[in-house]
Amino acid sequence: MNASASLFEQHDFVYGDHRLAYETVGEGMPFVLLHGILLDSHINRELATRFAVEGYRVILLDLLGHGRSDKSSDPKDHRADFYADQVIALLDHLGIGQALVGGVSLGCIVSLHVAVKAPQRVAGLFLEMPVMEWSAPWAAALLSPLLLAARFMRPGYASFTRMMRALPRPHQLKYEWLAGIMNTLSLEPSVVAAILHGVLVGPIVPSERQRRKLTMPALVIGHARDKLHEFRDAHVLSQQLPNAHLLEARHILELRTRPDRLWPEISQFLREVQEAGLSAPMATSSISMAPAAPVEAAIPAAVSDGDLKQRFEQAVEKVRTAPPDGPFKPSNELKLKMYALYRQAIDGDVRGKRPGMLDVVARYKYDAWTMAKGLSSEDAMRKYLEEVAKVEQKFG
């Protein structure tokens, strides 16, 4: 397993006759993040680490037929509204009352179906590249040749997938999206055909009437020059959803490869969802999902830079001198997050080369620090203080 993968905890659960896989990263408000058609959780891994730094526990679900989840060659298993049932089942499995839900392309549409089916379970919607009325004809035109190839040219297609499965995957977190595409090209043709057949035949998107009833906060991300995800769909959706904001990306890969320009607005949306106080996890969760109430009191918005630095230094000293035999036993994930926020606050963005495979601990620390890239020193201090406040609230 590569170092980036080690940041994610892998799990699975039973859904009907199938096993569905998911992985988690971060601590805080739950955020179910979904992949696009034929893709898997790898496409969202780098994004997930960024969301984790913003105070979210990100849950990457591999929908049926995708990634590590069970495969099905029956088109009747693959519809966007059926995939939504899998997301709701995941929330039930994890004991989550409400979560931010979102995804890219198919994941975006599945998120809308989740919000229509169970609006009380959705604290907000993160909708990247929707496929709706303007995009549907192009989706059919672009995906139908792939469906026909997978259905009627299986020997050649199967040979290609075997070759793709044999190729090594990228080991760096920033190239996880490329690993996801390689995994897509490795899917068995029968599974590819079933997924495309089921999605194209079933209902692609909830009706306009249903969409207009979705009142939770929403961020819609679209871009031009892509017929599969027409920008007009993103624009229309942002107008139909009562509490939506539209963010325009420059191209299809900007959020995956150069997210810094988009991130301030995304970060603001994430904070708005948290501040709405809509998180309602069930008591069975081992991690407190809701934002800790005392955090805002402990870190007033108007605190001066001098006071902030003093509070930060005091918090660092608390962490440094915490008794190892005390009630709080931090996970390795939390240790890495605290390390990353500390280094970002003191030294700024990560520098130097990534440590080699033989220095595993240093490599983990470097990857964790990379997740905090772009945060100002003051924001990193605030987030560090928030983490300490959460621990103090839970353990005293």
pLDDT tens for residues 210-228? Answer: 999 999 999 999 998 888 8
Q: Quick check: is 280 in a domain?
A: no
What is the C-alpha to C-alpha distance for residues 25 and 46, in angstroms, rounded to an integer?
11
Considering the domain architecture, whether residues 219 and 123 belong to the same structural domain is answered as yes
Q: Does residue 136 lie in a domain region?
A: yes
Q: Are the beta carbons of 269 and 159 closer than 8 angstroms? A: no
How high is the pLDDT of residue 277?
52
Residues 270 and 330 placed together within one structural domain of the fold: no
Q: Judging by DSSP bridges, how do beta strands 244-249 and 218-223 pair with one another? A: parallel
Is 261 inside any structural domain? yes
Reading the block at residue 303, the tokens are 């605190």
Q: Return the CA Rg of the chain.
A: 21
Q: Is the pLDDT of residue 282 over 50?
A: no
Domain final residue pick, 275, 301, 336: 275
Residue 283 has pLDDT above 70, yes or no: no
Verify that 302 and 256 share a domain, yes or no: no
What pLDDT score does 394 carry?
Answer: 74
Instruction: Confirm whether 197 is domain-assigned.
Output: yes
Residue 281 belongs to a domain? no
Q: What is the pLDDT of residues 175-212, one digit of tens each?
A: 777 777 787 777 788 888 898 888 888 888 999 999 99
Q: Do 204 and 234 fall into the same domain?
A: yes
Residue with tokens 């006071």: 307
Place of tokens 């601590």: 27
Give the pLDDT score at 6.
62
Residue 21, pLDDT above cutoff 90: yes
| Chosen domain end from 242, 275, 308 | 275
Angle at Cα 350 formed by Cα 22 and Cα 35, nearest 5°?
Answer: 25
Considering the domain boundaries, does residue 287 fall inside one? no
Q: Tell me: the pLDDT tens digits for 142-171?
A: 888 878 878 777 677 777 788 878 888 876
Left (φ > 0), alpha (ψ -120 to 50) or beta: where does 55 sit? Answer: left
156 touches 35 (CB < 8 A): no
Do 135 and 233 fall within a single domain? yes
Q: Indicate whether 73 and 216 sit together in one domain.
A: yes
Q: Say whether both 243 and 350 belong to one domain.
A: no
Q: In Å, how far are 159, 161, 320 from 151, measured between CA atoms?
A: 14, 14, 60
Of the listed ranges 18-22, 47-51, 52-56, 172-176, the least confidently predicted one is 172-176
Per-residue model confidence as pLDDT tens digits over 304-352: 667 899 999 999 988 888 777 777 777 777 888 888 999 999 999 988 8
Q: Which of the 8 DSSP states describes residue 381?
A: H
**Is there a domain that residue 315 lies in?**
yes
CB proximity list for 290: less than 8 A, separation 6 or greater: 29, 277, 279, 280, 281
* Domain membership flag for residue 288: no
Q: What's the confidence (pLDDT) of residue 200?
A: 86
In DSSP terms, 20 is beta-bridged to 13
What token pair was written down for 62? 């591999």
Which CATH number is 91's domain given?
A: 3.40.50.1820
For 228, phi then psi, to 5°, come to: -70, -25
Check residue 175 and give its pLDDT.
Answer: 74
Q: Work out how many domains the chain is built from and give that number.
A: 2
Q: Do residues 351 and 236 share a domain?
A: no
Nearest-angstrom CA–CA distance, 179 and 169: 5
The model scores a pTM over 0.75: no
- Considering the domain architecture, whether residues 217 and 341 belong to the same structural domain is answered as no
Say if residue 182 is in the same domain as residue 303.
no
Whether 213 and 158 share a structural domain: yes
Q: Domain range holding 122? A: 5-275
Same domain, 78 and 115: yes
pLDDT, averaged across the chain = 84
Q: What is the CATH number of the domain that holds 373?
A: 1.20.80.10
Give 258's contacts (C-beta < 8 A, 6+ positions apart).
none
